[in-house]
Structure formats: C-alpha cells, structure tokens
Amino acid sequence: MSIYVTKPLMPDYQEYIEEIRCLFESGMLTNYGRLHERFRRKLKTYLGVDGIELCTNGHLALELALQTLGLAGTGGEVITTPFTFVSTVHAIARNGLTPVFCDIREDTMTLDAEKLESLITDKTVAIMPVHVYGSVCDVERISEIAERHQLKVIYDAAHAFGVEYQGKSILQYGDASVLSFHATKCFNTIEGGAAVFPSRRDAQKFRRMCNYGIVSEEEIQEIGGNAKMDEFRAAMGLCNLRGVDAAIEKRREITAWYDKRLQGIPGLTLRHAQEEVSQNYTYYILRIDPAVFGVTRDDVCRELKTYGVYARKYFYPALNEIPAYEQLGRQYPTPAAHRAAKEIVTLPLHDGMNEEHVAMICSCILNLAAAAERKAV
C-alpha cells in the first residue's frame, strides 16, 4: 500500500458526464463559453470577491498579472520569498524582472515584512509575497510599505483557496491575487488558475491578455497571449465546487488526528495558528528540529518511504539555492528560509486517509526518534 501526499479532488463520474453533455450538443468548447461563465460566477460567490478572471493555470496567471500591471519588461526588481514553489520566482524572471529574495518569518514562513523595507531600491517595482500553505502574509504591513514606496503588490495565493482573514476573502488585498487550480491543490479544474484584481480595469485587461488582447472581432488592444480556460475544465470546476467543502471538512478531521499525536513532542513544531484566519487544511506541515528531535527531516522522509508513505519536502531547496538564482541568493542572504527548507516536511493529507493511516505515519516518525535516542545512550 502506498500513501501519497495528496490525491486530487474529483467529482462523481456521472456528475461530470452530465455537466459536459451540453458541450457535445453546442460544439462550443472554449473561448468564454457558457460553462466558463457559469463557473466564474459561482466561484466569485463562493470566494466572496467582487470579481474573478479564470486562466489556463496558476503560473500563467502570475505572469499575466505582472503584464497586466505594466511591470513586465521594465527591468525592475520584484521582492519575493525563496520559500515557495518555483513558479513564483520563474514568473518574475521570465518577464524581464529581477527577483530579490526577502527572508521569511520563523512562525508562518511567509515573507518577513520587517525585512522588506531594507531591500527596496530605486529599481524596485513590486512585491510578490506568497500565502504559503494558506498561512496569511502580513497584509496590512505590506500594504502600508507598498503604498509609501508606490510599489505594486501581487499575492501568490496558490495555496489560499477559500482562506479568509477577519471574515473576508484574503484575495482582496494587494493589486492582484493569483490562485492555482492544479490537480494537487485544495480545489482543482485539472489544470487551471484565476486572478482577482480590486481594479475592474485591471481585471478586464487581464481577461484580454489571456486572449491575445482581443476586445472584439475587429479590435485588438494589447499584446496578449493565449491562457484561456476551456469548457471541459470549467465543467470540472463546477463539479468540484460542489464537493470542496466536504473535502476541506474531511481534511480538518485528519489534521486533528495528526495534531493529537504530534503536538507537545520536543523538537516538533506544528503549523502556527493565526488569529482571525480560516484554514483550508490542504497541507499538513511538520517542522523537525534535528538538534532536539534527534533525527533529521531527511531521515524521517527516508523512513516513511520504506512504509510506502510519500511525504514531500515542500519547499526544498530554497529557490536562492538552485543554479538559476544562486547568484542572486548570495546577494540577499535568507537564513530563516534555508533553515525552514531543511526542517520542513509535508505529510500526506487527503480524503482517502483514515485514522489508522495517520496513526501509522505518526508512530513511524516517533519510533524513529526513539530508536535514535536509544542508540545515543
């Protein structure tokens, strides 16, 4: 038996077939069809935002958000975090911008707003923080700094589907927030993504940028690409939206099973609970301090694998340690991010798991430490 870190949210087969039946009748497969627009409206209501634009995936939504806000190709600097999925930093670099790495907070592992200001230069054009694992960035402090220095803020909210702060959607902050609907995320459209802009004009431009800058049959406004979401994926979105609350509830239950067994153990740090933040329970993160726990994160991953448990090192390596960004990494040391990258593990969490699976995974981790301790004495 194998237990993977996640399992895609999927609707009932028949439900999906019903949803796509109309496409075989209409022959309208893409280009903002009926399902696209219905899905967009339902999503907007579900997330509690004033508007949302769909995209073919989260990565291109990040790139197109940079282009929509007029930042791409300016050669400016964008301050971001090295503790994220590689997409965030690639989106910056691929648009002729230079990523500048800001260290992270020890507790939430989001960009450390206290270290932000010292990295701002006359070349800085934007900040791209990440709500990593669905933990919320210091949105007020970041807004205040960005305003004072007239910088754009684009949140990578790929992990923050449905997350609320003070009872409101986290997607309302900054100049743009970008979601991913990749199969492995909290909510999926197989591949997919979306962007939320507080400005209606920006939202409309983003929508055009996803479709070659086309306004109408005879008018093309800007140099856009093709990043549309097709009808089959919109259908998947409509179906999965009906099941997402139940999936989140199930993951909340599994999270509690893990917490019960792992909290209070010296050397193990569980997710930092944030006040007034709702979670989507997509990632079960565990931080292992080898000096106290007696074994390293890598030891734990190796041991779990022998039991068919595929935990993941999200996020390792820190992105300023990979060849493409190493040079920049030296310029901006980020010790907290490097420590986190060495100590963090994401344990399996999906609705195919029961309490016995969780008990087995936790015993495996705790027994490994106990064995190491016996060997040490």
Ligand X SMILES: *Cc1c(COP(=O)(O)O)cnc(C)c1O
Closest-by-Cβ residue to ligand X is 58
Q: Is 85 in the site for ligand X (CB under 6 A)?
A: yes
What are the two backbone dihedrals, phi and then psi, of residue 99, each rounded to the nearest 5 degrees?
A: -75, 135
Q: Which of residues 102-141 bind ligand X (CB under 6 A)?
A: 130
Q: Which of residues 283-342 bind ligand X (CB under 6 A)?
A: none
Q: How far apart are alpha carbons 111 and 81 in whole angstroms? A: 6
Instruction: Tell me the one-letter amino acid at 326.
Output: E
Q: How far apart are alpha carbons 43 and 192 in whole angstroms? A: 13
CB of 151 to ligand X, least distance (A): 20
Which residues in 3-15 are b (16+ Cβ under 10 Å) and which e?
Answer: bebbbebbbeeee
**Which 8-state DSSP code applies to residue 102?**
P
Stretch that binds ligand X, among 155-163, 203-211, 285-293, 331-339 (CB under 6 A): 155-163
CB of 344 to ligand X, least distance (A): 14
The span from the first CA to the last CA of the chain, in angstroms, equals 35
| Residue placing its CB nearer to ligand X in the complex, 173 or 293 | 173
Stretch that binds ligand X, among 23-31, 57-65, 227-235, 290-298 (CB under 6 A): 57-65
Q: Which of residues 167-186 bind ligand X (CB under 6 A)?
A: 180, 182
Stretch that binds ligand X, among 66-74, 154-162, 195-203, 287-295 (CB under 6 A): 154-162
Q: Is 158 in the site for ligand X (CB under 6 A)?
A: yes
Residues that contact ligand X, how many (by CB under 6 A): 14
Q: How far apart are alpha carbons 47 and 169 in whole angstroms? A: 6
Stretch that binds ligand X, among 156-164, 206-214, 235-243, 250-258 (CB under 6 A): 156-164
Q: At 106, which helix (H) or strand (E)? A: none
CB of 25 to ligand X, least distance (A): 30
3-state secondary structure of 272: coil
Choice from 9, 36, 40, 58 touching ligand X (CB under 6 A): 58
CA-based nearest residue to 162, from 44, 49, 285, 280: 280
β-bridge pairing 193-196 and 214-216: unpaired
CB of 364 to ligand X, least distance (A): 26
Q: How far apart are alpha carbons 316 and 229 in whole angstroms? A: 30
Q: Which of residues 235-264 bind ligand X (CB under 6 A)?
A: none
Confirm if 21 and 216 have CB atoms less than 8 A apart: no
Distant-in-sequence, close-in-space partners of 336: CB < 8 Å, separation ≥ 6: 103, 104, 105, 106, 112
CB of 181 to ligand X, least distance (A): 6
Q: Is 88 in the site for ligand X (CB under 6 A)?
A: yes
Q: Is 193 in the site for ligand X (CB under 6 A)?
A: yes
Q: Is 156 in the site for ligand X (CB under 6 A)?
A: yes
What are the two backbone dihedrals, phi and then psi, of residue 23, each rounded to the nearest 5 degrees?
A: -70, -30
Question: What is the separation of C-alpha 369 from the centre of its chain, rounded to a whole number of angstroms?
Answer: 31
Choice from 11, 33, 47, 57 touching ligand X (CB under 6 A): 57
Stretch that binds ligand X, among 81-89, 215-223, 259-267, 351-359 (CB under 6 A): 81-89
| Residue placing its CB nearer to ligand X in the complex, 77 or 156 | 156
Q: Give the other-Cβ count within 10 Å of 310's Cβ.
A: 15
Site residues, ligand X (CB under 6 A): 57-59, 84-85, 87-88, 130, 156, 158-159, 180, 182, 193
